[in-house]
Amino acid sequence: MPELCGIELEHPLINASGTYDAIAAQKVFGDQLLEEFPFSAFVSKTITPEPRAGNEPQRIWETPAGMINSIGLPNKGLDGFLAEDLPQLAALPVPLIVSVMATNREDFSRLVREVAERDEVVGIELNVSCPNVHSGLIVGEQPSETEALMEALRPLTEKPLIVKLTPNVADPGSVAVAAAAGGADAVSLINTLKASAVNPVTGQPALAAGHGGLSGPAVRPIALQQVRAVKSACELPIIGMGGVSNGADAAEFIAAGATLVAVGTENFRDPRAGFRIAGELEKTRTLGNFAKVALDLE
Amino acid sequence: MTAPFGRRRCEVAENKVSGGYRVFSLLDRAGPAPQPGQFYMLASEHSWGEGGGRPFLPRAISVAETAPAKEGVRLDFLVEGVGPGTERLCGLEAGEQVWVTGPLGNAFQAPKEVNPDAAGAILVGGGIGIAPLAIWRRHLVEKGIPLRVLLGFRSQEHSGGLDELFCSGDSLCPDVRLASEDGHAGHQGYVTDLVAAMLAGDDATSAVVYSCGPPAMLEAVRVLCEEHGVSCELAMESPMACGFGACFGCAVPKPDGGYMRLCVDGPIVRGDAIAEVAHA
C-alpha cells in the first residue's frame, strides 16, 4: 500500500485539484460514486480566503490532445467551504487533502491554520501559482518566495504541507529544493502550462481571460521530465501528474520518481478514470512490464 | 434517477442523413431512459483522442428521442458536423461503439410546475435546437397537455430532423407551425415572429414557453417572454468538458452576479434565472 507523509492509501491514484467536484458528482452518479470511488485520497478545489465567482466565459478550449482552461478558481471562500463543503467531503470514503491559495502570507496563514485544525483534513496542498501582492511575483516561480512562504506556514501545523509546483519555470528542481528548505513535506507537479489559443472565427483570444493553462496528454512528456528533474534535485515525495490517461501513463510517472499519481483532465473524459487507471496500474505491476500493458490498452 | 457511474460503451444502431444533419441512434443497455431536456457526453470509442489530435473531449449532445429497445433503451441524437467532434459523430457507422456518460443535467418541468396558473405549452425551436423539443413534445402529448410547436429554420438544409422528429406518417404533426428565413416552408422570417404574435394573444400567460435554438434566438425568446409576463424554460448550450460538474467550463452568468454550471444547474434554465443568453 502506498503512503504519503504517513498517510496510508489504498492505491497510488488521486485527483488533481480542481478537476473533480465530488459533491456534484455524487448528485449526478449517486452512491455508485462512493462504491467505486476513483481516488485513494481526494484533493479539493482550491479554496481562497474570500468567495470567488471565477472568470467570465469562455473558460475552456479544446486543443490537440488536451485543453486550455482559465476557470478562475470559483469557490465559496474559506468560511463557506468549512461550513458547507467540508462536512460533505469528509463523508467521502477516502482521506481529504484541501488545496488553498492566497495572495499574501497573512491570508495564507489563516487558510492553513483554519483548515489544518479540522480533523477531517489529513493534509494541505498549497497552490503557489499566484502572485504575492506585495512583491508582484508569482510565488511558485521564485525559490526565495516559495521558501519564505513555507517558513511562515510550517510552524502553523504538523499536518503534511504539499507544495503544488508550477511548470512555468526554467528549473522546477530549484523551487522544490526551496520548498524543502522551508519545511514542505511533499511536492505535486505539474500544474498547467501557460498557454493561449485564438478563436479562428473571430481572430480574438479564445478564452475571455486571454490565456489559460494547458493540460491533457499533450503535456505528459513535459510533466515526466519535470518530475525527473525534481526527483534528482531533492528527496521530497512527489505527486506526479500531467496528462495521465491510463495505467501505462501512471507507471511512467512512478518510474520517473513519483510516489503518487494524480489524474486531472482524463476525469472529464471518463468520470471513473481514477478507478480504471488504478486497476490498469496494478496490472502493470503484476506483469512487471508496462509496455505490455500499454499494448493491452490499445 | 442518477446516471450510471462512469462512461460506458453503446453500439450505434443507425445513422442517417437528414437534410444537412444526421440523426443517429445508440443502443444503451445500461442506462435509465432519459428525461426530456437531458443530455449525454459522447465520444466515439475509436479515432477520438487516441494518438493525439482532436477531437479530444467528449461532446455534450441533447437527446432528441428515446424508446424502449429489446435490451435497454434506444437514444436518438440530432447532430450537425461543425467541428472535429460533431463531424466524427456524424461519421459513425452502425455497429461502432460510442463512449456514453449520462443521462446528465436537469429536465424540462411541466407547465404547472413552472407556473401554477399555466395550462399549456408553447415549444419554440430553431435549427438543430428542435432536438430536445421532440422528446418533450411527446411527453406533453402523452400527459394530455395542450401545446403549440413553433419551429424555425434558416433553410431547408438546416431543417434536418424535422421529418424524423415532428412528423406523424408523411405529414407534419398538426400542432406544429414552421418559419423559414428562405421561405421554403411556412412563414418567411424568424420563428420569433410567430412567438411574438402568439404571445400578443390574450391567453398567452396561461402557457409556458420551452425553447431551444441558436443563442440569438433564445435571447429573443427570453426577452419576448419577459415583456409579456410569460414563464419560459430555455435549453441552453455551452462549451463543456465533462458534463458532471467537474470542469467548471460551462459557466453561465446569473442575474444577481456569479455563475451557474450549465451541466449540473441546467441545461434547462428558467428565463429569469440567467442574466441573458450570451450571443455574438
pLDDT digits (tens, 9 = 90+) for A231-247: 999 999 999 999 999 99
User: What's the mean pLDDT when you consider all of chain B?
Assistant: 95
Res. A86: pLDDT tops 80: yes
Q: With a cut of 70, say whether residue B111 has pLDDT above it.
A: yes
Which region among A94-103, A278-287, B66-75 has the lowest average model confidence (pLDDT)? A278-287
- Set out the domains of chain B in order of their start, with CATH numbers: 8-104 (2.40.30.10), 111-235 (3.40.50.80), 237-280 (2.10.240.10)
pLDDT given at position A297: 44
Distances (CA, A) of B171 to B18, B146, B165, B167, B191: 16, 20, 11, 5, 20
- Nearest Cβ partner of B239 from A53, A58, A65? A58
How many domains in chain A?
Answer: 1
Q: pLDDT band at residue B2, thresholds of 50, 70 and 90?
A: very high
Cis amide linkage into residue B253, ω under 30° from 0? no
Spatial CA neighbour of B44 closest among B16, B21, B12, B13: B12
Count of residues making up chain A: 298
At A103-160, the pLDDT tens digits run 999 999 999 999 999 999 999 999 998 877 788 889 999 999 999 999 999 999 999 9
For B57, the closest of A28, A67, A71 (CB atoms) is A67
pLDDT reading at A270 higher than 60? yes
Per-residue confidence band for A192, with pLDDT thresholds at 50, 70 and 90: very high
Give mean pLDDT, residues B246-252. Answer: 97
Cβ partners under 8 Å of residue B41, min gap 6 = B7, B58, B59, B60, B99, B100, B101, B102, B104, B240, B242, B243
The residue of A17, A42, A55, A59 whose CB has the most chain B CBs within 10 angstroms, and thus the best one to mutate to test that interface, is A59
Q: Do A21 and B245 touch (CB under 8 A)?
A: yes
**A296, pLDDT greater than 80:** no
Task: Report residue B169's pLDDT band, with 50, 70 and 90 as the boundaries.
Answer: confident
Q: Average pLDDT over chain A, rounded to whole?
A: 94
pLDDT the model gives residue A294? 47
What is the full DSSP assignment across A120-175?
TEEEEEEE--SB-TTT-SBGGG-HHHHHHHHHHHGGG-SS-EEEE--S-SS-HHHH
**Contact status, residue B163 vs residue B136, Cβ threshold 8 Å:** no
Higher pLDDT, A292 or A145: A145
Average pLDDT over every residue of B9-27 = 96
From B83, which residue of chain A is nearest by alpha-carbon distance?
A62
Q: In this structure, what CATH number is given to the domain that contains residue A238?
A: 3.20.20.70
Instruction: Please state the rounded mean pLDDT for residues A167-194.
Output: 97
Closest residue in chain B to residue A32, using alpha carbons only: B5
Confidence of residue B1 (pLDDT cuts 50, 70, 90): confident
* DSSP secondary structure code for residue B274 in this structure: S
Q: What is the pLDDT of residue A293?
A: 47
Domain that holds residue A33: 3-297
